[in-house]
C-alpha cells in the first residue's frame, strides 16, 4: 500500500500532523505504556509519550534521518535525539561542525538550535527493541515525503543506520530517483535526484559508540563529506 499523501504547507503544520498520528496501534500502546511506567531515573519527569516530529533549520542543506525516537529519550522529552546518549554523541558532533548552538541537549526547551541542519526519523514513535515492523515504517513514509517537499534547500541526506538508509532510498525512488539500489554501509554515498546526495553512517547508538564501531572522528568525517561539493 502506498504512503498516505499529506497536504501540509509548512513544517509547523506537519509537526502537528505527526504528533497527533495514531496509525500504528502497537507503537502507540508501547509509547504510552513507557510514558506511564517510566524508568526509575526519570520517575519525576513527565513523558511526552506521543509521536515525535522533526526539528531544525527549515532552510537546511543537511537533512539527518535517524531510526526512531528512543523510549526514554525523545519519547520522554518530545524532541528527536534529545535526552539520551545517542543525542549526546550526535549534538556534540554537530556542535563541532558549527551546526548546533550547544554540544548537548536534555530537553526540548533547553535553547538548542540547529543551523543548516534538520533532523527527523524514519519512524516517529519509539518501537519495542528499537525494531519497527516494515508496515510501521511504511505508515510513516508520508511524513518523509512531506519533509522532502518542504525542505527545499536540502543537498545531503545523512541516513543513520540501515533502516533509515532503506527508507530514504525508497523515498527518493518515489520522488524520481531511478538509480541502482545500494546496500547500506558506513560512508556509502548515492547521488539521488535534484542534485541531492545520500550518505550513510552507522547509527549514533550506544551499541556503536561505546564499542568504538563509530568514533567521533569517523562521524566528523561523514559530516565533512556532507558539505563537500558534488563529484
Instruction: Tell me the DSSP string of 109-123.
Output: TS---BSSEEEEES-
Cα distances (Å, whole numbers) of residue 204 to 65, 93, 162, 217, 218: 11, 10, 12, 13, 11
What pLDDT was estimated at residue 3?
62
What pLDDT was estimated at residue 1?
47
Burial status of residue 184 (CB atoms within 10 A of its CB: 0-12, 13-18, 19 or more) = middle
Strand-by-strand arrangement of the 197-201 sheet: 55-56, 117-121, 62-66, 156-160, 197-201, 189-191
Q: Tens-digit pLDDT profile for the chain (231 aa)?
A: 456 656 678 999 999 999 999 999 999 999 999 999 999 999 999 999 999 999 999 999 999 999 999 999 999 999 999 999 999 999 999 999 999 999 999 999 999 999 999 999 999 999 999 999 999 999 999 999 999 999 999 999 999 999 999 999 999 999 999 998 999 999 999 999 888 999 999 999 999 999 999 999 999 999 999 998 655
What pLDDT was estimated at residue 187?
96
What is the DSSP-derived secondary structure letter of residue 43? T
Domain residue spans in the chain? Answer: 11-226
What pLDDT was estimated at residue 4?
61
Are residues 186 and 202 in contact, defined by beta-carbon separation less than 8 angstroms? yes
What is the DSSP-derived secondary structure letter of residue 128? G
What pLDDT was estimated at residue 194?
80
CATH architecture of 11-226: 3-Layer(aba) Sandwich (3.40)
Amino acid at each position: 500500500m502506498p504512503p498516505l499523501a499529506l497536504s501540509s504547507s509548512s513544517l509547523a503544520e506537519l509537526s502537528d500532523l505527526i504528533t497527533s498520528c495514531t496509525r500504528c496501534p502497537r507503537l502507540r500502546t508501547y509509547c504510552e505504556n513507557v510514558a506511564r511506567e517510566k524508568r526509575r531515573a526519570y520517575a519525576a519527569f513527565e513523558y511526552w509519550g506521543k509521536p515525535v516530529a522533526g526539528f531544525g533549520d527549515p532552510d537546511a542543506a543537511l537533512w539527518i534521518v535517524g531510526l526512531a525516537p528512543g523510549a526514554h529519550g525523545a519519547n520522554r522529552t518530545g524532541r528527536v535525539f534529545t535526552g539520551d546518549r545517542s543525542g549526546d554523541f550526535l549534538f556534540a558532533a554537530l556542535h563541532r561542525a558549527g551546526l548546533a548552538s550547544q554540544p548537548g541537549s536534555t530537553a526540548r526547551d533547553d535553547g538548542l538550535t540547529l543551523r543548516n541542519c534538520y533532523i527527523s526519523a524514519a519512524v516517529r514513535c519509539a518501537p519495542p527493541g528499537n525494531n519497527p515492523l516494515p508496515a510501521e515504517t511504511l505508515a510513516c513514509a508520508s511524513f518523509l515525503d512531506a519533509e522532502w517537499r518542504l525542505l527545499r534547500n536540502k543537498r545531503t541526506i545523512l541516513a543513520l543506520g540501515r533502516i533509515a538508509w532503506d527508507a530514504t532510498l525508497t523515498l527518493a525512488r518515489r520522488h524520481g530517483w531511478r538509480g541502482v539500489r545500494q546496500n547500506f554501509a558506513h560512508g556509502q554515498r548515492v547521488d539521488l535526484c535534484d542534485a541531492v546526495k545520500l550518505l550513510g553512517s552507522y547509527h549514533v547508538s550506544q551499541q556503536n559508540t561505546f564499542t568504538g564501531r563509530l568514533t567521533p572522528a569517523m562521524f566528523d568525517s561523514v559530516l565533512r563529506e556532507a558539505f563537500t561539493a558534488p563529484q
